[in-house]
Amino acid sequence: MTESFEARVREAVRLLRAAGRVAAFTGAGISTESGISDFRSPGGVWDRHRIVTYQEFIGSAEARREYWVMKRELHRELLRAEPNRAHTALAELEKAGWLDCLITQNIDGLHQRGGVPPEVVIEIHGTNLEAECLGCGLRVPIEQIQERLDGGEAELHCSECGGMVKPATVMFGQSMPEEKMRRAYDCAAGCDLLFMIGSSLQVEPAASIPRVARKAGASLIFVNRTETPWDHIASIRFSEPAGEVMGRIAGVLEP
């Protein structure tokens, strides 16, 4: 028989209080409650637009134009989004000393906007809030790029060196950032408790992060609306909304 919601909350709080170091790993599911589409869900970005790989982006002007159309649509969605209760609950846990590091697959910046210090957040897939030059590495706010796109530019080049510009996100076919992945694995391997919130755990190498934590002896708390291939390694599993779960846990921990 499945334990009640409150019984699972109490057990989650018990594990949290017993842990020396606590980490969180988040995916698209934590941001759907903020109105951001899950890329893989029906009606999501990849249901409306084909995936443009990094190699296509580099080699084809037509692929770049196609990619920027998708990014313009995503940017409008991001502008409307606000941090939800799951984001702010994690910020409360961090502020109270209950959260040491936060690994995210998300590119929306909602953890930082929700109150988690930037230095605590490890964005392994980059950020959609900036664009970067592939030539000199210059980074600019994505709003500047949107203005240029809205002004009719189809080919975006760096204002400093003339190099190709792309969002500061990791595209399909592009290598994962080594330093951030090292930090993420160190975070997972060094924690006693890991919250896994809103990830399908199907995209590698990010999907291996909870397994790294479990192998190192950590307890896992899964907060996910749907099942994952790795539910069997979780100590506790919640299928309720992330905002409800994390808000309740943070509320119990309030002094």
Give me the catalytic one of 75, 87, 111, 125. Answer: 125
Residue type, 149: L
Structural domains present in the chain: 1-36+83-125+176-255 (3.40.50.1220), 38-80+126-169 (3.30.1600.10)
**What's the confidence (pLDDT) of residue 17?**
96
Given a contact cutoff of 8 angstroms between Cβ atoms, the answer to whether 67 and 86 are in contact is no
Can you read off the two tokens belonging to residue 176? 């994962």
Residues 3 and 233: their CA atoms lie apart, in Å, by 17
Q: To the nearest 10°, report the CA torsion of 6, 12, 14, 18.
A: -170
Kindly state the average pLDDT of the residues 142-148.
87
Residue type, 157: H
| 168-196 pLDDT tens trace | 999 989 999 999 999 999 999 999 999 99
pLDDT beyond 60 at 221:
yes
Band the pLDDT of 212: cuts 50, 70, 90: very high
| 80-95 pLDDT tens trace | 889 999 999 999 999 9
Residues 147 and 144: their CA atoms lie apart, in Å, by 5
Per DSSP bridges, beta strands 165-169 and 126-133 are: antiparallel
Given a contact cutoff of 8 angstroms between Cβ atoms, the answer to whether 197 and 238 are in contact is no
pTM of the model: 0.91
- Kindly report which listed range (7-21, 88-102, 153-167, 238-252) carries the lowest average pLDDT score: 153-167
Kindly state the average pLDDT of the residues 111-127.
96
Residues 222 and 224: their CA atoms lie apart, in Å, by 6
Kindly report the average pLDDT of the chain as a whole number: 90
Can you read off the two tokens belonging to residue 37? 């589409």
* Backbone angle region of 134, left / alpha / beta, with phi > 0 → left and psi within -120 to 50 → alpha: alpha
Q: Where are the alpha helices (DSSP H) in the chain?
A: 5-18, 45-48, 54-59, 61-80, 85-95, 110-113, 142-150, 178-189, 209-215, 242-253
Residues 254 and 228: their CA atoms lie apart, in Å, by 31
Given a contact cutoff of 8 angstroms between Cβ atoms, the answer to whether 220 and 214 are in contact is yes
Band the pLDDT of 38: cuts 50, 70, 90: low
Residue type, 31: S
**What's the confidence (pLDDT) of residue 1?**
44
Check if 125 is active-site. Answer: yes
Query: CA geometry: angle at 46 spanning 44 and 49, to 5°?
Result: 110
pLDDT beyond 90 at 70:
no
Kindly state the average pLDDT of the residues 105-124.
96
Select the highest-mean-pLDDT range: 53-57, 160-164, 219-223: 219-223
How much of the chain, in percent, has pLDDT values that exceed 90? 68
